[in-house]
């Protein structure tokens, strides 16, 4: 007689889908033939299909924490079934799957897991319509592309939202459902993309008078997969507040809209009050370094502490992930700084987490006063936000009171923000080149591309200012792509005139490192302009993304495998430092200017610099000293073993035509041919 497991396996082979069985230890006991063939054809790891392989360890090593959690829950019987969106990396690309985990009883009586796996191809979207599993899933599902346009939705979504597919596909979710803006849907979708982490939450959606349990999963291409279910009478307590969609699910504070409504009434009553805009510094890092539950715990804890200093007639609201607002009513003659110090004091103490760890969270606090001729609460919030940005410039928990002079900063920022998303050439964006000189041979070893802006209204704007705005507002990929196009056109047209430029380095900000789309675009552009990979270098800065994100590592490895080199910029100022270096595919280290400008001032710093140079050489990285301004600095560096220098002593950044004139035509320094 056939065993139960054999019967299951036979049935599986006749099903038109991919199936894998795991035993109670997470070891693969069986994969159906179709899945084995699929994995082999797509060069997916043996750990995904081969009997005897330890699947749990594989997903743990690949930091697929969510899948691990699901499987363990299914094995322990806490849940009978889960559906998850998953991505596996092949040598060439990422493959996306919908995986259904279900418990099954194996012959030895132990619980095992059966995984139904369905590949998902994202383009063209029609391909998805054939997806039986997605259509028949218990959850409603929709997929948004990187611009938040509907790319796919199953029929459950059509019926739950009461809208036809054709009306949604290709359209932006926030345009189609404007009531979602400012709610937990909005902030969690944004957060899931920003932090590349999946988030689960429950939220009320007013127009359909229903509660939903939602799981948001970031996709490798910058989009989101959203699974959700309608849940009835989920929250019985506080139902009134929730049902009006005006309470934040995490803090139980007002949401943006509701806060504005209540605060507007206080403003109209001519009450004197101050509005505090609180932004938690580096909150993203807490989410990345721990997980989003810890992030939630931190927010809840801070909200509790803040509540304790508020009076019943005062207000608290959560605008977005880590953006909080307080409305504090003034006593007669009260100095606004009095309450500001109380708020700052809260951040001076560590937060104790449930797991016993403690974290210090700093905050930047901006304050606006109701007496400042504000016309509306929205304006007061904007003023307080502007002051918060001013506070951010100071280290640690700090506050800043809005000054009318800051209104100028605000309109300048808004103009730059707007122009960064428009026609970059017309708005004055262009690039300069600064050579890296080998002082021992007098040759140009490489060049760095530095962006510049000669704005039609504002004149010269420093890249430090506009890069930060671009990074914060998400226009950095638009700007970097524009620069890449310009630089590659320049390299290509010189090549056609017989001029070969040295290796060219381009600065890449942390948020781009986690974007697969950005790297795909880069590779495509290099192909389009026929730029050999050996000519391209990417400069990245030390950041938390660099050290913990698996996607970043994959992107950097993809560059490396093509022959693009990676330079670590501003070395010595950032987050990761030496210990992490060994694990990263880094070819070159750029010693930060702060080390160079100390040369000759004190013996200790000189000794530190010398040993840093030795260390970098010992791990086989190339080394460049940045910001070399004097002959003395250059000589010291050369004697200490670092002979490639970038700095004003040799050359300032030059416009591309000037660079060609000085370096190619007049041979100021000898330009090496690209290898």
Residues that bind ligand C2E (CB under 6 A): 434, 449-451, 462-464, 467, 483, 507, 509, 569-570, 627-629, 646-648, 653
Rounded to a whole number of angstroms, the minimum distance from the CB of residue 652 to ligand C2E is 7
Rounded Cα distance, 463 and 434, in Å: 14
Judged by CB under 5 A, the number of residues near Ca ion is 5
- Please, which residue, 292 or 389, has the CB nearer to ligand C2E? 389
Rounded to a whole number of angstroms, the minimum distance from the CB of residue 497 to ligand C2E is 25
CB 648 within 8 A of CB 630: no
Rounded to a whole number of angstroms, the minimum distance from the CB of residue 294 to Ca ion is 32
Rounded to a whole number of angstroms, the minimum distance from the CB of residue 513 to Ca ion is 14
**Residue 564: which of ligand C2E, Ca ion, none does it interact with, CB under 5 to 8 A by kind?**
none
Rounded to a whole number of angstroms, the minimum distance from the CB of residue 453 to Ca ion is 17
- Please, which residue, 96 or 515, has the CB nearer to ligand C2E? 515
Which range touches Ca ion (CB under 5 A), out of 152-160, 468-476, 501-509, 595-603?
501-509
CB 83 within 8 A of CB 134: no
**Residue 648: which of Ca ion, ligand C2E, none does it interact with, CB under 5 to 8 A by kind?**
ligand C2E
- Please, which residue, 302 or 461, has the CB nearer to ligand C2E? 461
- Please, which residue, 31 or 507, has the CB nearer to Ca ion? 507
Instruction: Tabulate helix, strand, coil % of the chain (nearest 5).
Output: 40, 25, 35
219 φ, ψ to 5°?
-105, 155
Of 618-637, binders to Ca ion (CB under 5 A) are 626
Rounded Cα distance, 463 and 470, in Å: 10
Instruction: Please spell the DSSP secondary structure of 568-603, one letter per residue.
Output: EEEETSSSS-HHHHTTS---EEEE-HHHHTTTTT-H
Which range touches Ca ion (CB under 5 A), out of 13-21, 407-415, 534-542, 647-655?
534-542
- Please, which residue, 153 or 591, has the CB nearer to Ca ion? 591
Which range touches Ca ion (CB under 5 A), out of 303-311, 399-407, 565-573, 596-604?
565-573
**Contacts of 347 by beta carbon, 8 Å cutoff, 6+ apart:** 302, 360, 361, 362, 363, 397
Binder of Ca ion out of 390, 419, 569, 633 (CB under 5 A): 569
Which range touches Ca ion (CB under 5 A), out of 303-311, 339-347, 356-364, 506-514?
506-514
**Residue 510: which of Ca ion, ligand C2E, none does it interact with, CB under 5 to 8 A by kind?**
none
The residues with which 262 forms a beta bridge, in sequence order, are none
The residues with which 169 forms a beta bridge, in sequence order, are 150
Give how far Cα 149 sits from Cα of 172, 175, 192, 270, Å: 4, 9, 16, 43
The bridge status of strand 150-153 relative to strand 273-280 is unpaired
Task: Check residue 570 for interaction with Ca ion (CB under 5 A).
Answer: yes
**Number of Cα atoms under 13 Å in the Cβ half of residue 344:** 18
- Please, which residue, 248 or 539, has the CB nearer to ligand C2E? 539
- Please, which residue, 462 or 492, has the CB nearer to ligand C2E? 462
Rounded Cα distance, 370 and 380, in Å: 7
CB 10 within 8 A of CB 2: yes
- Please, which residue, 213 or 570, has the CB nearer to ligand C2E? 570
Rounded Cα distance, 76 and 78, in Å: 6
- Please, which residue, 571 or 584, has the CB nearer to ligand C2E? 571
**Residue 627: which of Ca ion, ligand C2E, none does it interact with, CB under 5 to 8 A by kind?**
ligand C2E
Which range touches Ca ion (CB under 5 A), out of 264-272, 384-392, 539-547, 604-612?
539-547
- Please, which residue, 67 or 437, has the CB nearer to ligand C2E? 437
Per-residue HEC secondary structure of 415-448 comes to HHHHHHCCCCCCCCEEEEEEEEEECCCCEEEEEE
**Contacts of 132 by beta carbon, 8 Å cutoff, 6+ apart:** none
CB 281 within 8 A of CB 363: yes
- Please, which residue, 450 or 499, has the CB nearer to ligand C2E? 450
- Determine whether 525 is exposed, middle or buried from the number of CB atoms within 10 Å of its CB (0-12, 13-18, 19+): middle
The residues with which 227 forms a beta bridge, in sequence order, are 141, 215
Rounded to a whole number of angstroms, the minimum distance from the CB of residue 645 to Ca ion is 13
Which range touches Ca ion (CB under 5 A), out of 212-220, 303-311, 365-373, 538-546?
538-546
CB 54 within 8 A of CB 68: no
Task: Check residue 539 for interaction with Ca ion (CB under 5 A).
Answer: yes
**Residue 451: which of ligand C2E, Ca ion, none does it interact with, CB under 5 to 8 A by kind?**
ligand C2E
Binder of Ca ion out of 198, 386, 438, 507 (CB under 5 A): 507
Rounded to a whole number of angstroms, the minimum distance from the CB of residue 663 to ligand C2E is 16
Task: Check residue 597 for interaction with Ca ion (CB under 5 A).
Answer: no
Burial 359-370 (b: 16+ CB within 10 A, else e): eebbbbbbbbbb
**Residue 464: which of Ca ion, ligand C2E, none does it interact with, CB under 5 to 8 A by kind?**
ligand C2E
**Residue 306: which of ligand C2E, Ca ion, none does it interact with, CB under 5 to 8 A by kind?**
none
The bridge status of strand 565-571 relative to strand 536-541 is parallel
Rounded to a whole number of angstroms, the minimum distance from the CB of residue 319 to Ca ion is 34
Omega before 124 within 30 of 0, i.e. cis: yes
- Please, which residue, 116 or 645, has the CB nearer to Ca ion? 645
Binding site for Ca ion (CB under 5 A): 507, 539, 569-570, 626
């Amino acid at each position: 007689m056939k065993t139960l497991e054999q019967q299951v396996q036979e049935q599986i082979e006749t099903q038109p889908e991919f199936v894998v069985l795991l035993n109670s230890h997470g070891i693969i006991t069986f994969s159906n033939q179709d899945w084995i063939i699929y994995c082999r054809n797509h060069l997916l790891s043996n750990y995904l299909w081969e009997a005897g392989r330890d699947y749990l360890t594989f997903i743990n090593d690949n930091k697929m924490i969510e899948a691990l959690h699901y499987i363990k829950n299914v094995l322990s019987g806490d849940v009978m079934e889960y559906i998850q969106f998953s991505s596996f990396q092949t040598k060439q690309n990422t493959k996306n799957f919908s995986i259904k985990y279900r418990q099954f009883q194996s012959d030895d009586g132990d619980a095992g897991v059966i995984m139904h796996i369905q590949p998902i191809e994202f383009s063209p979207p029609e391909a998805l319509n054939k997806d039986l599993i997605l259509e028949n899933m218990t959850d409603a599902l929709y997929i948004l592309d990187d611009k938040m346009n509907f790319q796919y939705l199953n029929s459950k979504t059509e019926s739950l939202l009461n809208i036809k597919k054709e009306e949604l596909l290709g359209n932006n979710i926030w345009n189609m459902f404007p009531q979602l803006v400012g709610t937990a849907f909005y902030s969690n979708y944004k957060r899931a993309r920003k932090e590349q982490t999946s988030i689960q939450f429950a939220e009320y959606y007013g127009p359909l008078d229903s509660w939903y349990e939602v799981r948001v999963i970031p996709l490798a291409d910058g989009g989101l997969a959203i699974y959700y279910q309608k849940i009835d009478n989920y929250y019985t307590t506080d139902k009134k507040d929730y049902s009006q969609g005006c309470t934040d699910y995490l803090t139980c504070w007002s949401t943006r809209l509701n806060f504005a409504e209540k605060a507007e009434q206080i403003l109209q009553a001519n009450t004197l009050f101050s509005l505090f805009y609180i932004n938690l510094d580096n909150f993203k890092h807490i989410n990345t370094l721990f997980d989003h539950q810890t992030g939630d715990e931190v927010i809840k804890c801070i909200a509790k502490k803040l509540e304790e200093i508020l009076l019943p007639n005062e207000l608290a609201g959560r605008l977005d992930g880590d953006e909080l607002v307080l409305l504090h009513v003034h006593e007669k003659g009260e100095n606004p700084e009095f309450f500001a110090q109380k708020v700052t004091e809260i951040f001076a103490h560590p937060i104790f987490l449930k797991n016993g760890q403690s974290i210090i969270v700093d905050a930047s606090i901006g304050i606006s006063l109701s007496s400042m001729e504000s016309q509306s609460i929205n304006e007061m919030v904007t003023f307080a936000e502007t002051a918060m940005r001013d506070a951010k410039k100071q280290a640690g928990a700090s506050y800043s009171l809005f000054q009318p002079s800051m209104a100028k900063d605000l309109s300048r920022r808004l103009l730059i923000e707007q122009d960064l998303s428009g026609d970059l050439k017309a708005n004055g964006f262009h690039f300069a080149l600064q050579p890296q000189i080998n002082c021992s041979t007098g040759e140009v070893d490489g060049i760095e591309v530095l962006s510049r802006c000669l704005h039609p209204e504002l004149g010269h704007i420093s890249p430090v200012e506009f890069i930060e705005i671009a990074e914060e507002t998400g226009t950095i990929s638009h700007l970097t792509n524009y620069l890449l196009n310009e630089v590659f056109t320049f390299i290509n047209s010189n090549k056609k005139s017989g001029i070969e430029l040295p290796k060219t380095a381009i600065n890449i900000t942390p948020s781009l490192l986690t974007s697969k789309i950005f790297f795909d675009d880069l590779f495509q552009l290099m192909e389009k302009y026929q730029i050999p990979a050996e000519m391209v270098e990417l400069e990245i800065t030390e950041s938390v993304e660099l050290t913990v994100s698996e996607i970043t590592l994959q992107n950097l490895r993809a560059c490396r495998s093509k022959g693009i080199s990676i330079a670590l910029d501003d070395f010595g100022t950032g987050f990761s430092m030496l210990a992490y270096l060994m694990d990263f595919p880094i070819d070159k280290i750029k010693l930060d200017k702060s080390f160079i400008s100390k040369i000759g001032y004190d013996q200790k710093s000189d000794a530190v610099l010398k040993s840093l140079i030795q260390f970098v050489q010992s791990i086989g990285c190339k080394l460049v000293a940045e910001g070399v301004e004097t002959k003395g600095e250059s000589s010291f560096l050369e004697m200490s073993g670092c002979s490639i220098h970038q700095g004003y002593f040799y050359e300032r950044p030059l416009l591309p035509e000037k660079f060609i004139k000085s370096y190619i035509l007049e041979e100021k320094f000898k330009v090496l041919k690209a290898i």
